[in-house]
C-alpha cells in the first residue's frame, strides 16, 4: 500500500496490528471449531472403524469398502462429466445474455436482467417436479403432444437420465447466477479497444470474438471455475432424476451410504474426504493461475463506453430469443407446477374430473405439514437473525482492526464456499456425533440452523464487509469520545447504518434456509423435519400431487419475501 492510499483510508482502518482481543479470540475459537473441526472429522473419520460416539479404532477398511463398491468410482466420474457437459452450453448462453444486456441496444435489457435476478431465487426442486410433469415417459405433457404427431409412437422425452439431468439442471438454474456475475463486468469494460475496432472497420461479430471476449477472458474463466464447483455441489436434481435411472453422483452416493442399515458412516466419509481433496487441488491450481496469469485492464481513466453496439434489425430478434428462453425454462415449468398441484393424479389429464382441491386441503390439514412448517420458520428465522448478528460483528472486526488474526479469520469464513452442502452436512454430523453436542443439537432444529448459519458465512461476511468499508470513521469516533462502549456503538450507530444490507442479507439467508435440502438432509429427525425435506419425502413416496402443492407454496413464500424485502430495502435506504 503506498503512502497516498494509506492517508486516504479512515483512521480506524489504518491501525497497526494489536494483541488479540477478547472478541477476536472468541471468533477465532468459534470459527476454528465450527469450520475446522468438521473438516478434521471428515478426514480422520474416514479412517475410524468404530461407530460415532464409540472409542476410535483406526484402519483402512472404510476406504477399501467404499472404493470396492461398484458405484463409487462411476459416481465420482459422473459428477465431473455432468459438471463439464452442463457448463459448456450454460457459459455460452450466459456470456451471450450478459453481452446483449450490457453492451448492445437490445430493447428490454434491464427487464431481462431483473428476470435473471428473480429466476435465481426461485427454488429448483419445485421446478424439477414441474419438468417431471412435462417430460415423464408415461404421463409427460410434451410426450403426449409428441405422440399425436405422425410417425411418433413412443415417448421422445425422458428426464430420468444423463441428458434429462443436463437439461433440467441447465433450465432450472444454469445461467442465472452466471449472468448476474457477468453483466457488471461487461458494463465496466473500457471503451478504447472496442472503439478502435469500430474505426478499423470490424463488424460486431469480429469485435466480440477478437476484442471483448479475450479482454474479459480472466473473469469468464473465474465464473466458469466457480460454476464448475457449484455444479459439483449439485444434489437435488441428481437425487430426484438420477436415482430412478441408476445414475449416482458423489453427493447422492454419500446420501445412499447413509440411508443403508446399518448406516455406512465410514464409507460415506471416505468418499467425502476424497472429493474434498479433489476440490482442494482444483482451487490450488485456480488460485495459482489467477496470481500468475496476465493482468487485463477492463476499466480505464478514459471512462466507460456510452455507445452501445447497434444490432440493427437483429435487436428485436435478440430480445425475442431471450424472452423465449425465459418462457421455456421458467414460465413453462412454473405454469405446470401450478396445474400439477391441482390435479387428481399427477400428469393424467384424460380422467374424469382431473382437477381437485383435495391435495391442498389434505396437505394444509396434515399435522406433519404443520410441524414441518413450524420447524422451517424456526430454522429460517434463526439462520437469518444469527447470520446477521454473527457475521456483521465479524465483518466489523475484519475491517476496523487489522490484527494478525484477520487473514486467518477470513480464510476460515470462506471454507463453506467451496464445501458442497452434502459434505458440510456430513462434517457437521460428525461434529455432533463425536462431541457432547449430540445431546442437544443432533436431530434438532437448532442443529440444522447452526449448519445453515455456517453455510452462509462467505456471502454474509463479505456483504457486511463491503458495507462497512463505505462508512466513515467520524460517527464511530464521536460515539467513542462520548463514552460509548464498543457494543453500544456497534448496536446504536453502525448496525442501523447497515440496516438495508442486514435486511437484504437476512431475507436471502431466510429464503436459502427455507429451500435448502443438501445441508439438512443428514441432520434432521422426524421431529425436526423442515418443509424442504418433507417435499423430498413426498417426491420419493410418489405423492407428486402433494409435492407439487408444497413446492408451489414454498415458491410463493419466496416470491412474497422478495417483494417485501425489496420494499423494506427501499424504505431503509430512503430513511438514511
SS3 readout for 139-207: CCHHHHHHHCCCCCCCCCCCCCCHHHHHHHHHHHHCCHHHHHHHHHHHHCCECHHHHHHHHCCCCHHHH
Question: Helices (DSSP H) in 347-456: which residue ranges?
Answer: 358-364, 367-400, 406-413, 421-433, 445-455
Residues 337 and 357 in one domain: no
Q: Helical H runs in 414-498?
A: 421-433, 445-455, 457-469, 474-481, 486-489, 495-497
Q: What is the pLDDT at residue 60?
A: 82
Whole-Å CA distances, 257 to 51, 236, 270, 277, 350: 14, 16, 11, 19, 41
Separation between Cα atoms, residue 545 and residue 539, nearest integer Å: 9
Same structural domain for residues 357 and 321?
no
Query: Which of 138, 136, 141, 129 has the alpha carbon at shortest distance from 172?
Result: 129
For residues 62 and 47, is the Cβ–Cβ distance under 8 A?
yes
For 271, list phi and psi in degrees, rounded to 5.
-65, -40
pTM (two decimals):
0.75
What is the reported pLDDT for 564? 72
The confidence score (pLDDT) of residue 52 equals 65
Query: Residue 100 maps to which CATH number?
Result: 1.10.3720.10
**Residue 78 covered by a domain:** yes
State whether 336 and 410 are in the same domain.
no
Residues spanned by the domain of 508 = 353-576
Asked if 321 and 426 sit in the same domain, the reply is: no
Question: Each residue of 505-552: pLDDT tens digit?
Answer: 888 888 888 888 888 888 888 888 999 899 888 888 878 888 888 888
324 and 433 both lie in a single domain: no
Q: CA 460, 466, 471, 476: dihedral to nearest 10 degrees?
A: 40
Same domain, yes or no: 446 and 524:
yes
Same domain, 411 and 326: no
Residue carrying the nine cell digits 476496523: 400
Residues 463, 364, single domain; the answer is yes
Helix 37-45 and helix 421-433: axis angle, to 10°? 90
Q: Based on the domain organization, do 326 and 408 belong to the same domain?
A: no
Regarding whether 337 and 357 lie in a shared domain, the answer is no
361 with 227, same domain: the answer is no
Judge whether 139 lies within some domain. Answer: yes
Confirm whether 371 is domain-assigned: yes
CA distance 49 to 57: 5
pLDDT tens digit string along 76-135? 888 889 888 988 888 889 888 988 888 788 888 888 888 888 888 788 888 888 888 888
Number of H helices, E strands in the chain: 31, 0
CB 190 within 8 A of CB 216: no
Structural domain contains residue 302: no
Cα–Cα distance measured from residue 1 to residue 5, given in angstroms and rounded to the nearest whole number: 6
Within-domain flag for 54? no
- Say if residues 49 and 59 touch (Cβ distance below 8 Å): yes
Is residue 259 classed as helix, strand or coil in its secondary structure? coil
Q: What is the pLDDT of residue 475?
A: 61
Residue where a domain terminates, one of 341, 361, 389: 341
What is the C-alpha separation between 505 and 129, in angstroms, rounded? 28
Q: How many domains does the chain have?
A: 2
Within the chain, which residues score under 50 in pLDDT?
1-20, 293-305
* Shared domain check, 336 and 424: no
Q: Is residue 409 part of a domain?
A: yes
Q: Is residue 466 part of a domain?
A: yes
pLDDT value of residue 376: 92
| SS3 track for 302-334 | CCECCCCECCCCHHHHHHHHHHHHHHHHHHHHH
Does any domain span residue 306?
A: no
Omega into 262 within 30° of 0, i.e. cis? yes
Amino acid at each position: 500500500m503506498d503512502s497516498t492510499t494509506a492517508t486516504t483510508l479512515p483512521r480506524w482502518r489504518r491501525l497497526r496490528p494489536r494483541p488479540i482481543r477478547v472478541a477476536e479470540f472468541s471468533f477465532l475459537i468459534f470459527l476454528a471449531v465450527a469450520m475446522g473441526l468438521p473438516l478434521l472429522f471428515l478426514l480422520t473419520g474416514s479412517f475410524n472403524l468404530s461407530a460415532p460416539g464409540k472409542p476410535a479404532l483406526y484402519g483402512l477398511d472404510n476406504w477399501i469398502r467404499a472404493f470396492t463398491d461398484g458405484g463409487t468410482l462411476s459416481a465420482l466420474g459422473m459428477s465431473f462429466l455432468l459438471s463439464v457437459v452442463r457448463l459448456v452450453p450454460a457459459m455460452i448462453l450466459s456470456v451471450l445474455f450478459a453481452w446483449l444486456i450490457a453492451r448492445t441496444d437490445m430493447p428490454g435489457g434491464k427487464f431481462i436482467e431483473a428476470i435473471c435476478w428473480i429466476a435465481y431465487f426461485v427454488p429448483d426442486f419445485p421446478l424439477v417436479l414441474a419438468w417431471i410433469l412435462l417430460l415423464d415417459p408415461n404421463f409427460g405433457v410434451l410426450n403426449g403432444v409428441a405422440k399425436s404427431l405422425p410417425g411418433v409412437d413412443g415417448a421422445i422425452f425422458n428426464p430420468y437420465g444423463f441428458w434429462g439431468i443436463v437439461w433440467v439442471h441447465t433450465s432450472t438454474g444454469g445461467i442465472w447466477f452466471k449472468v448476474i456475475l457477468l453483466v457488471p463486468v461487461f458494463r465496466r469494460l473500457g471503451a478504447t479497444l472496442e472503439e478502435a475496432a469500430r474505426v478499423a472497420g470490424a463488424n460486431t461479430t469480429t469485435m466480440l470474438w477478437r476484442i471483448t471476449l479475450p479482454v474479459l477472458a480472466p473473469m469468464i474463466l473465474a465464473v466458469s471455475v466457480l460454476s464448475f464447483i457449484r455444479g459439483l455441489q449439485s444434489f437435488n436434481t441428481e437425487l430426484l432424476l438420477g436415482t430412478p435411472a441408476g445414475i449416482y453422483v458423489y453427493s447422492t452416493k454419500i446420501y445412499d451410504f447413509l440411508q443403508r442399515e446399518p448406516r455406512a458412516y465410514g464409507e460415506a466419509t471416505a468418499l467425502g474426504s476424497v472429493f474434498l481433496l479433489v476440490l482442494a487441488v482444483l482451487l490450488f491450481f485456480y488460485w495459482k493461475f489467477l496470481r500468475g496469469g496476465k493482468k487485463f485492464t477492463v476499466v480505464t481513466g478514459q471512462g466507460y463506453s456510452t455507445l452501445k453496439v447497434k444490432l440493427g434489425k437483429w435487436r428485436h430478434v435478440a430480445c425475442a430469443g431471450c424472452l423465449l428462453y425465459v418462457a421455456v425454462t421458467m414460465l413453462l415449468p412454473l405454469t405446470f407446477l401450478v396445474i400439477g398441484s391441482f390435479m387428481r393424479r399427477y400428469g393424467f389429464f384424460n380422467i374424469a374430473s382431473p382437477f381437485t382441491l383435495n391435495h391442498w386441503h389434505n396437505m394444509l390439514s396434515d399435522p406433519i405439514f404443520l410441524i414441518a412448517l413450524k420447524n422451517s420458520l424456526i430454522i429460517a428465522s434463526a439462520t437469518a437473525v444469527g447470520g446477521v448478528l454473527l457475521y456483521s460483528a465479524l465483518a466489523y472486526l475484519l475491517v476496523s482492526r487489522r490484527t494478525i488474526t484477520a487473514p486467518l479469520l477470513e480464510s476460515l469464513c470462506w471454507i463453506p464456499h467451496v464445501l458442497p452442502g452434502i459434505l458440510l452436512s456430513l462434517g457437521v454430523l460428525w461434529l455432533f456425533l463425536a462431541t457432547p453436542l449430540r445431546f442437544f443439537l443432533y436431530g434438532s432444529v437448532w442443529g440444522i440452523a447452526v449448519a445453515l448459519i455456517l453455510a452462509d458465512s462467505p456471502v454474509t461476511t463479505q456483504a457486511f464487509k463491503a458495507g462497512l468499508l463505505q462508512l466513515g470513521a467520524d460517527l464511530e469516533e464521536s460515539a467513542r469520545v462520548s463514552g460509548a462502549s464498543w457494543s453500544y456503538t456497534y448496536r446504536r450507530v453502525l448496525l442501523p447504518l447497515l440496516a438495508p444490507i442486514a435486511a437484504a442479507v437476512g431475507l436471502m439467508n431466510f429464503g436459502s434456509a427455507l429451500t435448502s435440502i443438501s445441508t439438512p438432509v443428514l441432520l434432521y429427525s422426524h421431529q425436526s423435519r423442515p418443509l424442504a425435506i418433507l417435499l423430498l419425502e413426498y417426491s420419493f413416496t410418489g405423492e407428486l400431487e402433494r409435492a407439487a402443492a408444497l413446492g408451489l407454496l414454498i415458491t410463493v413464500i419466496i416470491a412474497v419475501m422478495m417483494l417485501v424485502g425489496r420494499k423494506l430495502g427501499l424504505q431503509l435506504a430512503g430513511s438514511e
